Structure 1
């Protein structure tokens, strides 16, 4: 039996779409930059005389900095206001980009990537929370469906952009390309994005929570990365220490009388817990697949980075088409229906990749990626709309930070876990590289089934407007 009819949608006008476009520029820079450097690893290793394993820290350091910065986004927005926090984050990101372009060694580049990642980690959650506050509950779903497609496109656009830049310009332009986008974002935001006042409740910064949560996440991700590289002792220490610090943060968050950096009680409030599971596993599936496919196309089929990026393009096109579909239906169709349908499409689009040992035609893989893209677009925006429309406005910054953190952690942990599985299967399969990748994609299917189980707990109906 269907639930009550959805409330009539409020009009998403031109000024709101302009604000959404401006704020999504920050998310675009931060998410694309996470992948744009991936195709330049060999170039950077040659430039600085470093091993590929050593220069890989250029990517890992950025990811760890993002994971470290996200938990603080809610407190910063509460304390200083969403627009001010967002503008400062863009400025820090641009400063890091300039420093990266001026790097003189692999070590200096890694350090400057940390600066860049600290700014980049704040941009998606701060921008989403600010947009939700400006839009209001009645318009959040439709406007979020527009901007949520950007993180889905970035894993596709990043390698393509990186390959194009390196084809015509030296490596510093991998970072300098951010400057015009960031400068335009700051100028436009100062003119068109309204000021949202800070929270009336001035809470002290959760120093103990920050000392446990951010380093705990970073150490956990680092430990999982070490597993993928075969350094088992370091990995065991990192994973154990990371889990212990996260357990300590949870205990602290439940006991403290002050506002914790991220409130663990949020995950016990419907529908936040189910939404958290869906976004966590979605991050693992999306970024894990984006990690696996370029490797398969290049090592299994001998394609260039540019050719591999082109084969990933259908997923981005599918995500764009899916965002249009969600924008037109998000206020009419039950949220759970959209999310479950999206997960089903991702499952269907993943099945052909479990058959890579039989060398399916490129057309089949391209079609499967397009289906996956549509499915991914049908999950992120409805899940965020469910949470944003059911939570008090003053709690939006911290809730947005929690959701962004889960998606980021899901992506990083999922990628690290799939890297471990792939390494094991490559060892077991020997020269049969395609079959090793096929085995690994069964794990992606498993991630999707876990997400489906969480999605069944999402609400059937839309939130009623106050």
Structure 2
């Protein structure tokens, strides 16, 4: 079948079934990153802990997610991406049930760390399994399905969490994951291809230590910077310096290591390099802006946290509506042009927030949020798809891990910068402060758009993507037929 025919062929129900199963894991991972936040006060009271201690129920999860990311590429090659995804989903589901039964705050924090370690690998392992199974020319359409889950889950978390606390008790924040996880696991055992098993070489222990320390510490440093608003404190500057130092040391180590944990030589590929740079800034425009818009509704427009979560859903709905269209267009035209168009729409719909008064009509704010969400669908998902299309199926585990890392670091950095800018400007008035912060968000979105233009140029001169390792016909088949290396 020709490349053009493969792009135009409708995806069969087996492909959509696989995408939906993989998306369920991404949804649970993203939902748990935000659902617990609204229940921290309740957990504090019922478990007799201080709020500072209880905060680690949320922080421990996020840091653990970042810690496990570097191991994902090696583990996916060692056991197969599908097997890794199934193992992580099983661990996440069991840890969720255990969190609900935690007898005290100490055990709850420990179990949340276990849950976060599994959750951190669910998305890149799922992306790898999906990419290897369906092939590069159909990747945009199935990645769009995964993107809907990744986008909607964090936005729904505060709303679902608020409803759970209102009508039930805090253990249900974790028990909600169990039935979804069990069903997804049962379907995954039946339908998810186990993936290609190769020889990843011995585990790069030094690389693992450097990355598993440097990445979460850097993300934590950005978070503390946003909270404190200054780099002059040791608990802010220390983590940032340690994180940057550890990651720089890994860069040197990987250059001289025969089998580094993550292969940084992928950045020699021009299209891949452009896509990852773009993903960094679009991560700030997507994840970093979540904090800014939440504060916009709460501090600027007087909404409570639950109402703020409801008001923010419009942006996620816009993204979810636009993603299926962008997925099909990416398969036909490439990710660069779509990301460039999406970036322009994101910039155009962010500028009004820097110009409008805080009491602007709710209908106008919601229309802008919906349009901005649609623009982000074009700016974010095509970039990730372009990065995965630029590498071979054997390189996909490393690519998925690295793209998720830069996107997460970009989101953390963007959130910190926007929070610092807002906090430093608030003494001069709430409305001028938000205007300034939104102009910074416009700048981050514009940088992502410039990088998308670079990606567009890079893709034009790039060779065609490599053929998939796992035959597309194997999707939906039995594990023994759908997996290499079994």
Same fold (TM over 0.5): yes
SS in 1 for 2:333: coil
Partner residue in 2 for 1:377: 377
Shift of 1:251: 0.4
Q: What are the superposed Cα offsets for residues 40-68 of structure 1, whole Å, 9 maximum, x if unpaired?
A: 23323333344444433222211111111
Q: TM-score, normalised by structure 1?
A: 0.93
Question: What is the CA deviation profile of residues 336-365 of structure 1, one whole-angstrom value per residue up to 9, with x for unaligned ones?
Answer: 210011111111221222236442211121
Provide TM-score, normalisation by structure 2.
Answer: 0.89
For the pair 1:425 / 2:425, whether they are aligned, the reply is yes
Q: Tell me what 2:366 maps to.
A: 366
- CA gap of 1:159–1:356, structure 2 versus 1, over 3 A, is farther
Please tell me whether the aligned partners of residues 272 and 390 of structure 2 are also in contact (alpha carbons under 8 angstroms): no
Name the counterpart of 1:254. 255
- 1:58-457 equivalences under 5 Å are 58-199=57-198, 201-230=199-228, 232-258=233-259, 260-355=260-355, 357-426=357-426, 428-429=427-428, 432-457=429-454
8 A Cα contact 1:11 1:139, kept in partner: no
- Maintained 8 Å contact 1:348/1:371: no
For 2:7 and 2:310, the matched residues in 1 are separated by 41
2:240 aligned counterpart, secondary structure = helix
Q: How far apart in 1 are the matches of 2:6 and 2:87?
A: 37
Q: CA deviation at 1:262?
A: 1.6
- C-alpha distance in structure 1 between counterparts of 2:316 and 2:12, whole Å: 26
Classify the secondary structure of the residue corresponding to 1:56: helix
Give the Cα–Cα distance (whole angstroms) in 1 for the partners of residues 400 and 150 of structure 2: 15
Checking the alignment, whether the CA contact within 8 Å between 1:296 and 1:434 is kept in structure 2 is no
1:56 lines up with 2:55 in the alignment = yes
Report deviation, 1:389: 2.2
Q: Report the alpha carbon displacement of residue 328 of structure 1 after superposing the two structures with TM.
A: 3.4
Counterparts of 1:33-44 in structure 2, within 5 Å, are 33-44=32-43
The Cα of 1:408 is off from its aligned counterpart by: 1.8
**TM-superposed deviation, 1:440:** 1.5
Q: SS of the counterpart of 1:35?
A: coil
Aligned mates of 2:342, 2:41 — CA distance in 1: 36
**Structure 1 residue 134 displacement after superposition:** 0.6
* Residues 434-456 of structure 1: per-residue CA shift (max 9 Å, x gap): 43233212221111122122112
How far off is 1:5 after superposition?
8.5
CA distance in structure 2 between the partners assigned to 1:75 and 1:134 by the alignment: 18
Distance 2:433 2:249 in 1: 38
Quote how far apart the aligned CAs of 1:156 are. 1.5
Q: Quote how far apart the aligned CAs of 1:252 are.
A: 0.5
Instruction: Determine if contact 1:66/1:121 at 8 Å carries over to the other structure.
Output: yes
In the alignment, the residues of structure 1 paired with residue 450 and residue 419 of structure 2 have an alpha-carbon distance, to the nearest angstrom, of: 24
Structure 2 SS opposite 1:196: coil
Within 2, Cα distance between the matches of 1:286 and 1:261? 28
CA RMSD after TM alignment: 2.1
| Uncovered stretches (5+) of structure 1, i.e. residues with no partner | none
| Cα separation, 1, equivalents of 2:463 and 2:31 | 33
For residues 56-95 of structure 1, give each alpha carbon's deviation from its aligned partner in whole angstroms, at most 9, with x where no partner exists. Answer: 3222211111111111111111001112111110122122
**Aligned mates of 1:74, 1:223 — CA distance in 2:** 25
Q: Distance in 1 between matches of 2:380 and 2:153?
A: 14
1:386, 1:463 within 8 Å by CA — same for their partners in 2?
Answer: no
String of CA shifts for 1:260-284, please: whole Å, max 9, x gaps. 1222222232111111111111221
Give the whole-Å Cα distance in 2 for the aligned partners of 1:265 and 1:399.
11
Contact 2:129–2:195 (8 Å) recurs in 1: yes
Q: Note the alpha carbon deviations across 1:297-343, whole angstroms, 9 max, x for none.
A: 22333323332122112112211221122133223334321001111
User: Which string of whole-angstrom CA distances, capped at 9 and with x for unpartnered residues, describes residues 112-137 of structure 1?
Assistant: 21111000001000000100111012
- In 1, Cα distance between the equivalents of 2:280 and 2:75? 23
Aligned-pair distance for 1:175?
A: 0.8
Aligned length: 458
Q: Contact 1:98/1:176 (CA < 8 Å) preserved in 2?
A: yes
- Unaligned residue ranges in structure 2 (runs of 5+): 468-486
1:6, CA displacement in angstroms? 9.8
Q: Is the 8 A contact 2:38 2:161 kept in 1?
A: yes
